Amino acid sequence: MLEFKIKFDDKEMFKEIRKQSAKLEVGFFEEDIYEEVDKPFYAPKGLRAKSNLNKPRRYAAHKAIPVAQVAASNEYGVPEHNQPPRPFMRDTIQKNRMQWRKLVQDNLPILMDVEKMAEQLGMKMVKDVRKTILNFMIPLNAPSTVKRKGFNKPLIDSEQMLESVKWKVNGR
């Protein structure tokens, strides 16, 4: 959980903002199911042949698991499967928390609306997490993973985890 301490010079402004509250969640939610690729093959004609990264889009028999489980496995690793940790969420928080604090500090006194501020912060946080996922390179994929995927991009397979990073304010 992140908490920001913000100093208000204007006591009346502080009293007004203090009456408001908002809960912001950023991450992967239960309704998102990951279609795990068991036996990859490339897109037949007529289907979207390229992914957003201009890589061939793979299709296959699928096993549905929660995206949050995939994200947690990537974040913390799975030693019994020789999967190293790739801490994309922790790295994003460490790298961007001061920028996020500044965003709130600079804009909350202007907006005077905690819920709208949480929405802006949520959009920024999702953008930052997705950027980290796209740029994440170390540790590299194992040669067997590169062969299976057809490219060496840790944290990117079908791009479903990337696209599933979302934000919610007050459970909306």
- 3 domain residue, yes or no: no
pLDDT score recorded for residue 128: 96
Mean pLDDT within 32-40 = 55
Mean pLDDT within 33-38 = 56
The residue with tokens 């037949």 is: 44
Q: Are 2 and 100 in contact (CB under 8 A)?
A: yes
pLDDT score recorded for residue 55: 53
Reply yes or no on whether the pLDDT at 28 is more than 60. Answer: yes
Predicted TM-score (pTM) of this structure: 0.75
Mean pLDDT within 147-166 = 84
User: What's the pLDDT tens digit per position in 113-143?
Assistant: 888 888 999 999 999 999 999 998 888 888 8
- 164 domain residue, yes or no: yes
pLDDT score recorded for residue 125: 93
Q: How confident is the model at residue 38 (pLDDT cuts 50, 70, 90)?
A: very low
Reply yes or no on whether the pLDDT at 13 is more than 80. Answer: no
Indicate the number of domains in the chain: 1
- 93 domain residue, yes or no: yes
Q: Residue ranges of the alpha helices (H) in 8-142?
A: 11-18, 67-76, 88-111, 114-135
pLDDT score recorded for residue 20: 82
- 6 domain residue, yes or no: no
- 87 domain residue, yes or no: yes
User: What's the pLDDT tens digit per position in 80-119?
Assistant: 888 889 999 999 999 999 999 889 888 887 888 888 888 9
Reply yes or no on whether the pLDDT at 149 is more than 60. Answer: yes
Q: Which domain holds residue 48?
A: 11-169
Mean pLDDT, the chain, integer: 78
- 88 domain residue, yes or no: yes
- 163 domain residue, yes or no: yes
Q: Identify any residues that bridge with 24 across adjacent strands, giving them in sequence order.
A: 169
Q: How confident is the model at residue 4 (pLDDT cuts 50, 70, 90)?
A: low
Q: How far apart are CA 86 and CA 93, in angstroms?
A: 14
- 2 domain residue, yes or no: no
pLDDT score recorded for residue 43: 44
Q: Are 93 and 2 in contact (CB under 8 A)?
A: yes
Q: What's the residue count for the chain?
A: 172
Sign for the CA dihedral angle at 4, 131, 144, 73 comes to positive
